Amino acid sequence: MESERVGDYGIRKALLLYQHPGGLSWPTNPLAWRTTQMLKSLAMEHSSRYTVRPYVRPADALMEVRNFLRAVKRSAYGKLHGL
């Protein structure tokens, strides 16, 4: 539910991580992301706001989060807020 309301909180970009044992990418492979239809639709409809990334191991997820936060820090938003 809160993911659906990120725009209400002024969030311009969000990262959605999903674990897949084969590392299949979504949405190109329909078997890749097993989650609710609501979340799939939300990510598809707002693809400019959500970054969807797969991971296989927890270390992969950590790397995706670090890359995402680094991009936020370098963005105009990060500079404006002194991140």
Asked if residue 10 lies in contact with residue 48, where contact means CB atoms within 8 angstroms, the answer is no
Distance (Å, whole) CA 64 – CA 47: 17
Which pLDDT belongs to residue 57?
Answer: 82
Distance (Å, whole) CA 72 – CA 61: 17
Higher pLDDT, 26 or 4: 4
Q: What fold, for 3-80?
A: Rossmann fold (3.40.50)
Residues 6+ apart with CB under 8 A from 19: 54, 55, 56, 61
Q: 50 by DSSP, 3-state: which?
A: strand
pTM over 0.75, yes/no: no
Paired with 36 in beta bridges are none
Sequence ranges of the domains in the chain? 3-80
Tens digits of residue pLDDT in 34-67: 667 777 777 778 778 877 777 878 888 899 889 8
Tens digits of residue pLDDT in 8-35: 777 777 777 777 777 666 666 666 666 6
